[in-house]
Structures are given as C-alpha cells and as structure tokens.
Amino acid sequence: MKYSQTFIPTLREEPGDAVIASHRLMFRAGMIRKLSNGLFTYLPLGLRCFRKVEAIIREEMNAAGSLEVKPPVVVPGELWKESGRWESMGEGMLRVKNRLGGDFVVSPTAEEAFTALVRDELSSYRQLPILLYQINTKYRDEIRPRYGVMRGREFVMKDAYSYHDSEESLDEHYRAQGAAYRRIFKRCGLTVLSVKADSGSMGGSGSEEFMVESEVGDNTLLLCANGDYAANVEKAECRRDDAPPRKAAEGSPGPAPLETIDTPNVKTIGELCAFLKARPGDFVKTLIYRAVNVELDLSTAPGCGDLPRRKTSPGAPETYPEAFFAAAIRGDLEVNEVKLAAALKASEISLAADADVVRLTGAPVGFAGPVGLNTLPIVLDQTVTAMDDAVTGALEKDKHHRHAAYGRDFGGWMIADIRTVKAGDRCPLCGGELYEKKGNELGHIFKLGRKYTASMGVSYLDENGKTRVPLMGSYGIGLDRTLASIIEEHHDENGVIWPLSVAPWQVIIIPIKYQGAVREAADGLAAELEAAGLEVLLDDRDERPGVKFNDADLLGIPWRVVAGDKNLAAAVPAVEVKRRSEKEARLTPLAAAAGEIAAAVRGELAALTAG
Amino acid sequence: MKYSQTFIPTLREEPGDAVIASHRLMFRAGMIRKLSNGLFTYLPLGLRCFRKVEAIIREEMNAAGSLEVKPPVVVPGELWKESGRWESMGEGMLRVKNRLGGDFVVSPTAEEAFTALVRDELSSYRQLPILLYQINTKYRDEIRPRYGVMRGREFVMKDAYSYHDSEESLDEHYRAQGAAYRRIFKRCGLTVLSVKADSGSMGGSGSEEFMVESEVGDNTLLLCANGDYAANVEKAECRRDDAPPRKAAEGSPGPAPLETIDTPNVKTIGELCAFLKARPGDFVKTLIYRAVNVELDLSTAPGCGDLPRRKTSPGAPETYPEAFFAAAIRGDLEVNEVKLAAALKASEISLAADADVVRLTGAPVGFAGPVGLNTLPIVLDQTVTAMDDAVTGALEKDKHHRHAAYGRDFGGWMIADIRTVKAGDRCPLCGGELYEKKGNELGHIFKLGRKYTASMGVSYLDENGKTRVPLMGSYGIGLDRTLASIIEEHHDENGVIWPLSVAPWQVIIIPIKYQGAVREAADGLAAELEAAGLEVLLDDRDERPGVKFNDADLLGIPWRVVAGDKNLAAAVPAVEVKRRSEKEARLTPLAAAAGEIAAAVRGELAALTAG
C-alpha cells in the first residue's frame, strides 16, 4: 500500500491527558482519535492492528472448539432482571428506555444473552457441551474513563460461554480456554501474569485473571518471590503468621481472665496501643458491615431470624436484600471486603452507617468487639482464632476488654479468611515473601457453576431422563486493552515497536526521493515482498527523509528498507535494511533484500505461533 | 468441519411471525434466533454467511479507495445537536442518558461522527479527498420490527463517507461507490434495481437507491416498461399529460370568465363531479400543509413576513420552525408529500389541522382554492399551470369557482413537480408506460453537498489560502438485509440455495453411515477438497439418511456428495454428486470427484467476481 493512499495523521504533540505510553503513541501515530470522553475512533492504522489481534483471538477460539455467534449489542433489560443483575450491576451498566418504554441494556457482558439462547435450544445431554463465543462491542459507563483505550467506555470484548453436564467437562473447557489465552498473549508478544482472582459480581467458583504489569493498573497483585504463587489482592491468601498462644509457652502462666477497663478519650488504635502498652497485633478489630443480596442461609444466625428473604427471579436462590455482620480481625491486619463479600455470598458490602453501628452494638463507633455481641452474626478472620489474650471493644463507650480469649470469651458465627494480604506476607504455597505489582486485566476466565443457568431456568434431560441444570463457564478478553498493552510492552522514546504478528504492515519501504531509479527499485521491492505474502507500506510522500524516518519509527513497522540513489548506483545495487528494534541499518544487495526479509519474517511469525 | 462439532439447530416448524422466505428459512436452518422483538442472534451458520457478505463488501470498499475506520457505536448527543438532527431524527433514534446525565445516541448512521473526525484532522486541500468507511453496529428504534433481520432494530451497516474539494471529485467517488455497489450485489448473486431516490432527512442533492424486489418491500418503485427509467415513488417524475388548453382549439370560444357557484351539501369530489358534470381532472385540488424546519427564504412569501427564524446549530442555515403552505394540484392527481417537502426544503410535512385550515382559508375544510388566497404561500403543481377552465374551492362554505384560469384568476408562489407518479403514467425519458414494484432498499448513496460540513463547521484552506467548506457524500449498505435478500432470491420449498460466494460451506459430504469404508472415503474426500482450498461440512451425525438429506437441502450448501457402501464397492468406486440447484445426482468416480468439484467451484466463483 502507498502511504499517500492511507490516512495516517501523525502528530508531534501529545494529547494533554495522556499519561501512559500506549495512549500517547496511539494518538501520535494516528491510530486513534478521541470522539468524546472514553469514546475513541480507530483510524485506519489502528484498525489494521486491532484486526490482527482480533484474528489471533478468533483463530485460537476456533481451535479451542468454541463457535462464533453474534448476539445483539442492545439487549432487553428483562434478561438482566431474570438473572438478578439488573439490580446488582450498578450504574456502570448503560440502561436505555426505548420509544415504547421498554428497558434495554447496552451489553457490558453477555452471560444473560447466551444463557437465554441456550435455554431455548438445549433439551438433551447429547447436545452438551455447548461452546460459544462472540467478538463484539461492549459498553461500561465508566465515571472516569482514562488512559485512552486502556479504560474506555466502549470497547470490544471476546466473550465466550460454555455449558456442561459435568464438572469434568467444565474443567476441560476451562483449561482449554486458559491454554488458548496463553497462546493468544504469546502470539501478541505479551508477557502476561496469570493470577487467581475473585469472581466478583459474575458469581461462581474458580476464576483466573490474565494480567499485564502496569504502573497505572487497576489491580494489585501479590506474587511470591519464588514464582509459585500469583493472585489478585481481592483473592490473595497467605500463610498464617499467628503468634504462638501464650498458654502454649512452657512454664508461662495461663491466660488471665477477661477484664473490662476504662479507656477514656482514647480514639485511635494508636492511642489505644500507647495507653495499654500493646501492639496493634494484640487487638481484635471489629467492624460492622452492611451486606446486600446475601445468599447464605441466615435463619439460625444471631439477630437474623426475622430478616425478610426474597427471590429476585423465579429460578434464583432466595437472598436477603439487606443484612448486617460484624467482621473481627487481628488489629494489625485489614479486612478484605471482596473476600468478606465472597464468604457471605453477598453481591455488595460496605461499612455500616454510624446509626446502624450504635443500634447494633449499643455503643458509638470504635467500641465494637466480639465478646457478648449477639445482635448480629460475627465473621471471625481465622487469625482471631489463635488469639487468647486480646484487647477488644466492650460494646460500651470508653470501655475495652483485655485478656479476651477465643473459645473462652467469644466465638464467631463463621470463621473465614477475610484478611487483606500485602507485600511482606508469606506465600501460602512455599512461605516465600510476597511482593506487590500493579496490573491491568486483559482476560478473565470463570467457572460460574449454576448461578446463571439456575436463575434463568436452563435445564436438560440427562441420560436417565432426569431434569438437570447445566454448569456454565465464561471467558473474556478485552481487545482494545490487549492492543494498548502490546504497545506498553513494545515501544521506545521514538514510537511503537510492533511484534510482527500484530504489525500494521511488516515492512516499510522509504525511497529517499520517490522518482527515477529509486522509485523503480522501491516499487520492484514492494512487489517482490507482496508476492512473497508480506504486507508492505511504501512511503511515496514528497517529504524530507527525516520526516519519513521519524514517522516510520513512530508507526513502529518491524522492518525498514531505505532506497537511495547512492547505494542503488553502486556496483552491486543495495538498499539499507534495518529492524525497528535495532539501532544500525545494514547494506543489503537489492536483489537479495526481499528474500532475506521474507525469510526472517516467516521465521519470527512461526516462533510467535509455535507451542 | 464436522457437523457434530457445529451448532446448527435446524427445525421442522416455522416461527409463527415469519411472513417471508428469508425469515422462515434463517430460523429453520438455525442461522438466527430471536432474542427480543427486532433483536436477533446470528448462530454459527448464519454468522458464516454474514461474514462472507461482510468480506465481499470490505474488499470492494478497499478497491474503491475507501479506508476502514471504527468509530464508537455509542456517540455523544452533542454531535447530533450540532448537525441539527438531534431534533429532526425523531423517535427512531435511540437516545441514552449516561450516569452523569450526558446525552448519547446509539448510532443509527454516522454522518456526524465522521464529520467530527474530519473536522479535527482536515486543514489543507492537499488532504482531500478523504474517503472513509466502517462496518459496524447500528440501531433504529423501529416501532414494528418485522420480517426477521430484513427490518430489525439492531443491524450492521457498511457506511462510507467522503469529503471533497470539488464537485468533480465528489462525482468521481460517488460513481466509484455506485460501481462498487453493483459489484457487491453481483458477487452476492443479487438482482438489484438501481433507482433515483429522495435524499430524505439526510439532506443533499443526488442520491441513488439499490433495491431488491420484494412483495413486502417498504418502497414503491416506478419502472418504465422500456427499461430506461426507475425511481422511488418518493422521487419519481413522469411526462406531463396536460389536456390541451381550450383557447387553443381553433374556432372554439375563449375561456369563460370566473364564476362563483353555490355547491350546497356537496361534500366529496365525487359529489362535486356529479353536481357540476365535471371530471376530477377539471378541478384544482388545494390542500393546506404544515411544514417544519423550512430552509427556504420566506421573507417575501405571502403571510410569512413575520415568521420567526432560528438556527438549530451555529453553522446551520436559518430555518422556520413552522410554516403553512397551500399545495394545489389537478384533481385527478395526488400530492407527493416527500416531493413537496423537498421543494420546500422542509424536514417534515403534514396536513394542517382543521383549525389552521379555517384560520388560513376563512372556510371549513373542503373549500380551499388558489383564487384570492393570500394568507400563505401557494405551491402549484406544474399540471395546474396548464388549466384554464378549472373548478376550485372559493374560500367560503358551500361555494366554488368555475372557469378559473391559471395566470388570469390565480398564480402561485412556487411552481414545482409535487405529483405522485403511479402505474400507467408515462416515463419521463421515453414516454413508455410506467409500472410499479415493491422494493426493499439494500443500499443508498448520497451526494450530501455541504449540509453537514457547513452545519458542523468543517473547513480547509484551498490552494489560494482561502477558507472553504468541503463537499461530502455518504454511502450505506445494510448487511443483514443483503444477506436476507440473497435467501429471498435463492431458495426453494426445501431450503436455501446459496450462491457459492456466500455459502457457509461450499460442499457438504454425507456418508450414509459414518463408519468403515464409507467413513474412510468421506474423510479422504473432505481432506482432498480442503487441500484444494474449499470449505467442507462433513455430516458425521448418527442420523437417518433422510434427515441428513433434508438438512443439507435446508442449509443450502451448493454441492452435495453422498458416500454409500454400494457405490463405493463398485468396480470403479463412486460417490453421488449433486448441486443444490439441480434435481438429479450423478455418479462420479471417487478418485475424480474432488478435482471436478473444485474446478467447478473455482469457475463459478470467478464468474461471480468477474467484471
């Protein structure tokens, strides 16, 4: 293709709001333009790269046995009401009323649409598994879209959904998707961390995220220095680091009895530590939470006997629209609200309002504690179960207990791991030190179990003629993010350095002046390379060589060939060949250039695709 | 591909609401499923065909020099306010408020988004022409979606936009697009009528529609029996068929003077004819219309001197939000409201309310006429200018004029062709008889002039450094409709008969029983055909042959090969080869089958692509 026939508006200046390299370079190289906050137009150059990422994903999905379909982007709100997510998805979901007053959604994801399709088509176990995917427009109404297409409002996602008659079958496709993701990212030249993740509002059990490291990442990851563990902080676990129980120390006196002490004018945990000459790890910190749509059975939980339950949809499990919980954790640790919500099977969780704390604990905020607290269920972090001499709030203003012992003075309704793991904690697998990284999620795979298939009433007859509800998985990759992440990983100060697999063109030919013998050589070389199956951009513009070189670097085309009078007039006519990633060009005989480049390109593409 | 690895839920029964063949067959063949009214999911089979249509369109757009880009589907309402279409697009445009209260639109078309892009990038005439297109999701909030994907709410459109510095340049790309459309439809195996069209709410001057005949078509087309003229009724013209003026008849007395007569209790034109012993063609029928957003200058028009004007956007021309007009036409003809709106440059037009008629004509509905009517501008159809002895309303209850003569007794503020042409009228080019057809629009190309570029403030510097506003064209094709229309044209009572260019697979192989020698032969043949570059579906299901044959017919795969024990055991092992369009299969030696089919497929594809 000739440069003059494309539309690549490169720019010297950078967009004022561009913080990260991909945003800056996609804008400067003329790959994208901003139409509005979080809404971008891909220009021809950007779209060429986008389509290459799309093609790689499509190939790997097809290879994994998934079949492509195309549901609408705008879907009826009814489906979201059936699954219960009309309420739980929050304001990030773009809702529309049509002219007839019907509720619609601009799809942020498509569990509902696929499950509705499968519900109508599935009757027998013989049809399972059903493996489907789409590559389609999605919308999330981000309040603060930023970093260009890395966190836009509209984006394209590959989302796959699978339906199974057994855990084994679900496992198998879950693994196949994971393997496909690894190949996709490898082919795109991306270094991706695969981490354990919380399945969040998607529901379900197992889940794995594919992350790229990024200083502006949305996610905090915990990684083991020994390389055997990686998890999103939302889900990360660590080895227990309990102090040995005092009673266990040989010859030490047994734990002292519970004692109530006055702690006037002591507001913060720091002041309390100073006042009691204790360390934060000696406290049981107790927080009151309000949880929404709790799926756990609370009928026998303290204070919950009369709580109303409801079904948000006919097939959905009964849930409690609102319930309060106390979460108790060792004082030097933080409660991880995502883990707590998961433990409670709640769709949402937040600290209770002050008035609720007063009503439930009988004391102002700051004096909650597990001893004698029977107005609501207590969730104990597992660290608390090792504490036999703790300080806790005494459910009374300016009062605390000390020498509180788990099992003797207090218990919990549930014991769970609700601790926020942080850098310096110990790997749950090997005990190595964990460190933190920021990451951006490119892909996410979920075992959803029967969350959607049950709530939306999907069933089939098994081989014994019994009605069963299928298991389900879902598997997403953000295309825009993947593309931007490739640039994050492959660029220098002059521009992008595309991996061959996603380069807009594989070779750029720059004639110093597009005329005479130079033009002839450039045209000939382009024809030769194209005949060999390569994609070539020929810079036929009437610009100074410096401008052409700068644009070539900015665009990031992997191979550059410069054709000039002097080298072409030599005894052996030659051109300068340079890889974008290298500093120096080398002279190559014109007659050999196309063959050499084609062979190198083929070899490199094969290496990216291998394995 | 093996049938057992696809997902093609074929059905015996038909959807209850399916009226046309494509809807019925797309549903029965498992190409689509309905998610909601006007919202469809393409299943794997349907999507394969859809992607083929898409690829043909993309190839032809690229060949026409247009560059693919990808703007968002959801775009800011601001852009539509700038162009003035936020108001004029009506309720068919799906509007959304986001969580921050901003107005957004789920794109029904993208003149605004492309023009906003070009506005930011265009500075010099050297950049022109700019030729861009997208293939992307569109939404129109149809009140009554029907006929499956033929008239859905969400659909995919190829829409191209071009920007030019001269009429010649616009003409050239307009012709290139028209030529590309003809190639696209030919390659898809479609018989398409190209007709002159009104440019409707798109604005602008020239426009051509590409129509397929359909008994449920939205459009009425007028075609000349001699084949030299085709137009949408909205725009159709015809040869004048005026009666000769009476005064011209030699020896006849001159026209009688205007006379007012009582016409008590005469309500309809039929009663009036009987009462006056006249034919409908002797009347001047006068209707009062209310027009919205009139762009014509009415400052000197009767009754319009004080009408308020306004700009709907900074760059837009001033328009009259509301104005009333009388339209007078020969009594045997009907006013064409689209043509009238175009003549008035109004965005919308409708019959005035009774109260407005009384206020403006001084008489009840039924007594309007051009004689003495000076409270509003009169638009005379050109047929009226030949009338010298007409009956008209007298602007008074139960009164009519007779012997009214154009020029002597009345005139008009504007003379225009506002007549609805109908079957039996005469071709404007050759005088041949026009006939009517119903048609569905697949594509539409427009010369838009400066409507959007002016209202949205696009400009560039010409070679003399002068600021100029570019000309614009827009060019759309509906993909879903194109696909459905292919089925309309290519099917029989048993199913689809795909043209090779858009067939989901080119060959289906049916082993009578997928085992032993038959399986071996089927596998071998599939491998051979695939090695030759053909797409093959191998029906490996454990179904009765009848079921497989019926499904093959329903799916419409162009070539069918049946492998059975008997023929394979013959001295020369053979298979049965049949084209979907033919009744009889013929025995072909197994060894020759792949070669013969591949050659035939290649030849046919080349024929579809040629020219």
- A424: tokens are 């310096």
CATH of domain A253-416: 3.90.960.10
Angle subtended by helix axes A167-187 and A44-63, to nearest 10 = 150
CA dist., res. B578 & res. A29, Å (int): 53
Q: What is the mean pLDDT of residues B241-263?
A: 78
CA dist., res. A494 & res. A481, Å (int): 21
Query: Is B90 part of the contact surface with chain A (CB cutoff 8 Å)?
Result: no
| CATH number, domain A3-71+107-215+438-487, options 3.40.50.720, 3.30.365.10, 3.30.930.10, 1.20.120.1200 | 3.30.930.10
Contacts of A98 in chain B (CB under 8 A): 94, 141
Question: Which of B2, B47, B99 would you mutate first to test chain A, the one with the most A CBs within 10 A?
Answer: B99
The residue of chain A nearest to residue B155, with distances taken between CA atoms, is: A72
More confident residue, A245 or B442: B442
Question: B75, A35: Cβ pair inside 8 Å?
Answer: yes
Instruction: Reply yes or no on whether the pLDDT at B205 is more than 80.
Output: no
Residue type, A556: G
CA dist., res. A486 & res. A492, Å (int): 12
CB A93 within 8 A of CB A83: no
pLDDT band for position B311 (50/70/90)? Answer: confident
Q: β-strand A67-68 against A130-139: which pairing, if any?
A: parallel
pLDDT confidence of residue B202 = 46
Instruction: Reply yes or no on whether the pLDDT at B84 is more than 90.
Output: no
At A506-526, the pLDDT tens digits run 999 999 999 999 999 999 999
Q: How far is A200 from chain B (nearest CA, A)?
A: 22
pLDDT confidence of residue B385 = 95
Domain range annotation of chain B: 13-236+436-487, 246-416, 505-609
pLDDT confidence of residue B327 = 97
Question: B40, A72: Cβ pair inside 8 Å?
Answer: yes
Question: A7, B132: Cβ pair inside 8 Å?
Answer: yes
Cβ atoms within 10 Å, residue A522: 25
Instruction: Reply yes or no on whether the pLDDT at A250 is more than 70.
Output: no
CATH of domain A505-609: 3.40.50.800
pLDDT band for position A201 (50/70/90)? Answer: very low
CA dist., res. A148 & res. A32, Å (int): 9
Query: Is B253 part of the contact surface with chain A (CB cutoff 8 Å)?
Result: no
More confident residue, B442 or B312: B442
pLDDT confidence of residue B246 = 66
pLDDT band for position A311 (50/70/90)? Answer: confident
pLDDT band for position B14 (50/70/90)? Answer: confident
Q: What is the mean pLDDT of residues B530-554?
A: 97
Question: Phi and psi at residue A468, in whole multiples of 5°?
Answer: -135, 155
- Pick the closest to residue A275 from A285, A283, A263 (CA basis): A263
Q: β-strand A460-461 against A434-449: which pairing, if any?
A: unpaired
Question: Phi and psi at residue B378, in whole multiples of 5°?
Answer: -105, 130
Cis peptide before B317 (omega within 30 of 0): no
At A530-553, the pLDDT tens digits run 999 999 999 999 999 999 999 999
pLDDT band for position B197 (50/70/90)? Answer: confident
Q: What is the mean pLDDT of residues A311-316?
A: 66
Residue type, B264: P
3-class secondary-structure state, position B258? coil
Helix extents (H) in A277-376 = 337-344, 354-361
CATH topology for the B13-236+436-487 domain = BirA Bifunctional Protein; domain 2 (3.30.930)
Query: Is B226 part of the contact surface with chain A (CB cutoff 8 Å)?
Result: no
Q: What is the DSSP letter of B242?
A: P
Q: What is the mean pLDDT of residues B203-218?
A: 84
pLDDT confidence of residue B268 = 80
Listed by number, the residues of chain A in 148-207 with a beta carbon closer than 8 Å to a beta carbon of chain B are 153-154
Query: Dmax over Cα atoms in chain B, in whole Å?
Result: 100
Contacts of B130 in chain A (CB under 8 A): 7
Average pLDDT of the residues of chain B: 93
Query: Is B110 part of the contact surface with chain A (CB cutoff 8 Å)?
Result: no
CATH of domain B246-416: 3.90.960.10
Q: Does B246-416 match B505-609 in CATH topology? A: no
Query: Is A278 part of the contact surface with chain B (CB cutoff 8 Å)?
Result: no
At B503-521, the pLDDT tens digits run 999 999 999 999 999 999 9
Q: What is the mean pLDDT of residues B118-134?
A: 97
Contacts of A41 in chain B (CB under 8 A): 69-72, 113, 117
Q: How far is B109 from chain A (nearest CA, A)?
A: 15
| Complete DSSP assignment for A218-242 | SEEEEEETTSS-EEETTT------P
ipTM of the complex: 0.90
CA dist., res. B482 & res. B272, Å (int): 49
| Burial degree of A583 (CB within 10 A; 0-12, 13-18, 19+) | exposed
pLDDT confidence of residue B273 = 87
Q: How far is B403 from chain A (nearest CA, A)?
A: 51
Contacts of A137 in chain B (CB under 8 A): 73, 136-137
Cβ atoms within 10 Å, residue A168: 9
pLDDT band for position A348 (50/70/90)? Answer: confident
Least confident of A24-38, A451-465, B254-268, B569-583: B254-268
Question: A44, B154: Cβ pair inside 8 Å?
Answer: no
Closest residue to B154, CB basis, from A7, A68, A74: A74
pLDDT confidence of residue B23 = 96
Q: β-strand A130-139 against A390-393: which pairing, if any?
A: unpaired
pLDDT confidence of residue A205 = 65
Question: Phi and psi at residue B230, in whole multiples of 5°?
Answer: -150, 130
pLDDT confidence of residue A461 = 97
Contacts of B148 in chain A (CB under 8 A): none
To the nearest whole percent, how much of chain B has pLDDT over 90?
81
Q: How far is A145 from chain B (nearest CA, A)?
A: 12
pLDDT confidence of residue B198 = 64
Contacts of A72 in chain B (CB under 8 A): 35-36, 39-41, 153-154
Question: A154, B116: Cβ pair inside 8 Å?
Answer: no
Question: B71, A106: Cβ pair inside 8 Å?
Answer: no
| Complete DSSP assignment for B535-603 | -EEE------HHHHHHHHHHHT-SEEEEE-HHHHTSSS-EEEEEETT-S--EEEEHHHHHHHHHHHHHH
Q: How far is A136 from chain B (nearest CA, A)?
A: 9
pLDDT confidence of residue B68 = 98
At B567-585, the pLDDT tens digits run 999 999 999 999 999 999 9
Query: Is B7 part of the contact surface with chain A (CB cutoff 8 Å)?
Result: yes
Closest residue to A39, CB basis, from B72, B121, B154: B72
Least confident of A88-97, A400-409, B198-207, B340-349: B198-207
Contacts of B94 in chain A (CB under 8 A): 74, 96, 98, 104
CB B517 within 8 A of CB B47: no
Question: Which of B52, B95, B104 would you mutate first to test chain A, the one with the most A CBs within 10 A?
Answer: B104
**In the block, which residue shows the tokens 């029907």?**
B146
Q: What is the mean pLDDT of residues B183-204?
A: 80
- A530: tokens are 């194209």
Provide the β-strand partners of residue B260. Answer: B401
CB A552 within 8 A of CB A558: no
Q: What is the mean pLDDT of residues A558-582?
A: 97
Question: A39, B74: Cβ pair inside 8 Å?
Answer: yes
Average pLDDT of the residues of chain A: 93
Q: β-strand B219-224 against B434-449: which pairing, if any?
A: antiparallel
Q: How far is B335 from chain A (nearest CA, A)?
A: 30
Closest residue to B106, CB basis, from A106, A141, A143: A106
Q: How far is A590 from chain B (nearest CA, A)?
A: 30
At B39-55, the pLDDT tens digits run 999 999 999 999 999 99
Query: Is A144 part of the contact surface with chain B (CB cutoff 8 Å)?
Result: no
CA dist., res. B409 & res. B193, Å (int): 44
pLDDT band for position B560 (50/70/90)? Answer: very high
Instruction: Reply yes or no on whether the pLDDT at A248 is more than 60.
Output: no
pLDDT band for position B15 (50/70/90)? Answer: confident
Closest residue to A72, CB basis, from B9, B35, B121: B35
Contacts of B49 in chain A (CB under 8 A): none
pLDDT confidence of residue B545 = 96
Query: Is A130 part of the contact surface with chain B (CB cutoff 8 Å)?
Result: yes
CB B484 within 8 A of CB B478: no
Question: Which of B28, B41, B122 would you mutate first to test chain A, the one with the most A CBs within 10 A?
Answer: B41
Question: A99, B121: Cβ pair inside 8 Å?
Answer: no
CA dist., res. A220 & res. A510, Å (int): 44
Listed by number, the residues of chain A in 518-547 with a beta carbon closer than 8 Å to a beta carbon of chain B are none
Listed by number, the residues of chain B in 552-581 with a beta carbon closer than 8 Å to a beta carbon of chain A are none
Question: A117, B35: Cβ pair inside 8 Å?
Answer: yes
Look up the pTM and report it: 0.90
Contacts of B29 in chain A (CB under 8 A): none
Q: How many helices (H) and strands (E) does chain A have?
A: 15, 32
